[in-house]
Structure 1
Amino acid sequence: MSYNVQIKKVAAEITFDLPKKMTSLASGYDLIAAINSPLTIQPGERVLVPSGIAISMPNNLEAQVRPRSGLAYKHGITALNSPGTIDADYRGEIKVLLINHSKEEFIIQPKDRIAQLVFQEIPEIQLIEVEELTDTERGVGGFGHTGVKAEN
């Protein structure tokens, strides 16, 4: 299935290409840092980085802002609130909340690829209140409940 998503450049002071997939089978469109000068992220610091774009998409879609694996692995830089959800009715600039988990400062250069934008369909859901839920083998077991137990 194919969808039309409108995209608008909102960072008029810099020239940049629209987000694109780096390979034909990639699921994410790379977002860039729409900044005029380098931006330093100190260890443990978080910054909100503009992408330079705003979008309009069909009501049954959401866009998710996800980290780039290379930044996370090589530099300890990742996106907080991940995946960040862009709702179909949001028209403002998409910004990426980055954090530096490393022990060294990291410098983002203008137009560096900083995150990915992945589109997902949103199913129509009707929440139905009930008195009891159906039983399962797991039941109410929570965090770590399905892990393998060591033999004594």
Structure 2
Amino acid sequence: MADIRFMRVENNVDLPLPAYATPGAAGMDLRAFLPDGPLTFTHGEFKIVSTGFCVELPPGTEMQVRPRSGLSLKHGFIIPNSPGTVDEDYRGCVMVGLYYIGAEPFIIRHGDRVAQAVIAQVQRYQAVEVDTLSSSERGSRGLGSTGFG
């Protein structure tokens, strides 16, 4: 198993490292780094929340930033670019974009678990220009062409 290297940003002295909540968890919990105090979200608000950590990923991997099911389904938070991708060569602070669709104001506090990070293998392919593509049953029929239900 390869290591995921995390470095604290300035003033992050208390957040635990991102970690798996259970032995079978696919994602590591990412927490809100809010040294200036809590953030209150109202319906329709979008805010970018720092995790307080920079990251170095193993070669050939990416970090997918995904919603936490509890925060999403129970409280109405979504991550608009989900899954967000952190590339293996990025060394900056991991940030999470949160969009709130809940009805009542909701407060995110320092240390709250706001997202999860799934580390995934990445394969790279050579792009090749061609004059034709092979045929398939679907062909070029687009969005919704296979029906619903």
Give the TM-score normalised by the residue count of structure 1.
0.92
What is the 5 A alignment of 1:3-152?
A: 3-36=2-35, 37-148=37-148
Count of equivalent residues: 148
Any conservation in 2 of the 1:60–1:122 contact (CA below 8 Å)? yes
CA distance in 1, matches of 2:81, 2:117: 14
1:14: how far off?
A: 4.0
Distance 1:114 1:52 in 2: 12
Q: CA RMSD in A?
A: 1.4
Q: Percent identity?
A: 41
1:58 Cα deviation (Å)?
2.2
- Structure 2, unaligned runs of 5 or more: none
Residue 131 of structure 1 aligns to a residue whose secondary structure is: coil
Q: Specify the code of the residue in structure 2 equivalent to 1:52.
A: G
Offset from partner CA, 1:79-136 (integer Å, 9 cap, x none): 1211111011111100100010112211001100000011111112111111111111
Q: Which runs of 4+ in 1 moved over 2 A?
A: 11-14
